[in-house]
């Protein structure tokens, strides 16, 4: 039986391996699309959705106009906007349907996935690949159940990007605090 500390070490190693294999050019293309977009929409289901909700919150602190698809305050999407689709398999029905709809309105599509040959990937302008287990393929192994490392990776990936955006935008921690909720 493994201990808490052994599991901690192994999970941190898995996350490190996952994040260090993300292609730098894909990261740059993704960040470029985010900075160009008038509005940024995120869609995912389950734990992927939770990771993306955290990203919407943090990117909003950067001053970016971000929304979760389906949220009460979601505005319409258009041709100056960006849809970021998180789906490890790239075959989840809801994200695929939303991708199709956003494409009809001329929005750019970024797909965060472990399956660069998926149905969603076929429609994406940019694909950011995370080498992790997926519902559709399991040639990559993890000590964690199902797609956990992908979901964790999305959260940490976007926290890393937040630091890069802060540098590019010349923002400090204090700048972000001014956009933080104050009814806590």
Known catalytic residues are: 151
How far is CA 25 from its chain centroid? 16
- Residue 116: partners with Cβ closer than 8 Å, 6 or more residues away: 90, 127, 129
Give the other-Cβ count within 10 Å of 86's Cβ.
29
Residue with tokens 């389950």: 46
CA distance 99 to 94: 9
Q: At what angle do helices 148-169 and 24-36 cross, to 10 degrees?
A: 60
Q: Which of 90, 84, 46 is nearest to 64 (CA)?
A: 84
8 A C-beta contact, residue 138 and residue 120: no
Q: Which of 88, 91, 95 is nearest to 68 (CA)?
A: 95
């Amino acid at each position: 039986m493994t201990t808490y500390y052994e599991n901690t070490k192994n999970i941190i190693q898995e996350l490190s391996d996952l994040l260090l294999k993300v292609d730098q050019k894909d990261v740059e293309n993704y960040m470029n699309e985010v900075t160009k977009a008038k509005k940024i929409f995120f869609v995912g289901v389950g734990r992927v959705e939770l990771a993306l909700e955290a990203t919407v919150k943090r990117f909003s602190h950067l001053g970016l106009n971000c929304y979760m698809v389906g949220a009460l305050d979601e505005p319409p999407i258009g041709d100056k906007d960006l849809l970021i689709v998180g789906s490890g398999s790239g075959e989840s029905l809801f994200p695929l349907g939303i991708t199709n709809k956003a494409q009809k309105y001329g929005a750019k599509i970024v797909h965060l996935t472990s399956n660069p040959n998926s149905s969603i990937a076929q429609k994406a302008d940019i694909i950011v690949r995370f080498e992790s287990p997926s519902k559709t393929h399991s040639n990559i192994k993890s000590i964690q159940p199902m797609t956990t490392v992908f979901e964790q990776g999305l959260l940490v990936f976007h926290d890393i990007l937040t630091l890069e955006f802060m540098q590019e935008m010349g923002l400090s921690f204090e700048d972000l605090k001014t956009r933080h909720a104050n009814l806590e």
